[in-house]
Amino acid sequence: MALRMWASSTANALRVSCASKAHVSPAFSLSRCFSSVLDGLKYATSHEWVKHEGSVATIGITDHAQDHLGEVVFVEIPEPGGSVSKGNGFGAVESVKATSDVNSPISGEVVEVNSKLSEAPGLINSSPYEDGWMIKVKPSNPSELESLMGPKEYTKFCEEEDAAH
C-alpha cells in the first residue's frame, strides 16, 4: 500500500497518468476496500482457491487476485484428462496487457473445465468463486489440502501482503 501511495504522488508530480483501473488509494485514507474471502474454501499463497466436495475439488482464482489483475480478457485452461500438480501452473489469465500464470493448489486429474470462460472470461471478475471457476480436479493426494490456508489465515495473508507493498 505504501509504495502505491508513493508511486501515485510521484507519478502525479512527474505528470504520469495511470489507467483508470489502477489500484491507487487516497493518500490519507484510513479505510481500505477488502476483497471477499469465502468460508468453506481453502486458499493458496498464489491466490487460488479450492472447494473440496466429495471426490472432486473445484479451483479458481480469488477475488483478491481478480481485483489486482484487472479485466480478464482471455483464459487458458487445460483439457480434461490432463493432470495438475501442487504449486505448478495449469493455465493463465490475460488481463489487457498481461498474462498471469494460474497455479494448482493441489495435485490430481482434471475431470472438468469451465468452457464458459472461453466466451465469457469476465466471469472470473464478476463471479470469481462461482461462475468463474476454472477447473475441477480429482485429488490424487487429499492431504495436500491440509497445508492450504483457511479463510481467516488467507484474509490476514492478503492484508499483510498489501501492507508490505
Partner 1 sequence: MTISQTRNVGLPLMKLVRWKGVPILQQLHLEEQLLRTSSENWCIINDGANDPTIVMGISGKPAQLLKLDSVLNDRIPVIRRYTGGGTVVVDCGTVFVTFICNKDAVPGLQPYPQPIMSWSSLLYALVFRGFGDFSLRENDYAFGNHKFGGNAQSITKNRWIHHTSFLWDYEARNMAYLKLPARAPEYRVARDHLEFICRMKDYMPRSVFVDRTIKAVETHFSVRPVELEAMETNLNSKFPHSTKLLTEQELEAAAFESHFEKALSHSL
Cβ closest to partner 1, residue 5 vs residue 56? 5
* Strand partners of residue 60: 49
CB 136, min distance to partner 1, A:
22
Helix (H, G, I), strand (E, B) or coil at 162: helix
By C-beta, is 53 or 79 nearer to partner 1? 79
CA–CA gap between residue 100 and residue 87 (Å, rounded): 14
Gap between the Cα atoms of 165 and 161, Å rounded = 7
For partner 1, the closer of residues 25 and 138 by Cβ is: 25
* Identity of the residue, 39 or 47, whose beta carbon is nearer to partner 1 in the bound complex: 47
Contact residues toward partner 1 (CB under 8 A) are 2-4, 6-8, 10-11, 14-23, 46, 68-70, 73-74, 76, 87, 89, 92, 94-101, 103, 161-162, 164-165
How near is the Cβ of 128 to partner 1 at its closest, in Å? 15
How many CB atoms within 10 Å of residue 116?
A: 13
Residue 54 CB, nearest approach to partner 1 (Å): 29
The DSSP secondary-structure symbol of 71 reads S
Nearer Cβ to partner 1 (1/111): 1
CB of 2 to partner 1, least distance (A): 7
Q: Minimum distance from CB of 15 to partner 1 (Å)?
A: 6
Q: DSSP letters along 95-148, please?
A: ETTEEEEEE-SS-EEEEEE-THHHH-TTHHHH-TTTTT--EEEEES-GGGGGGS
DSSP class of 164? T
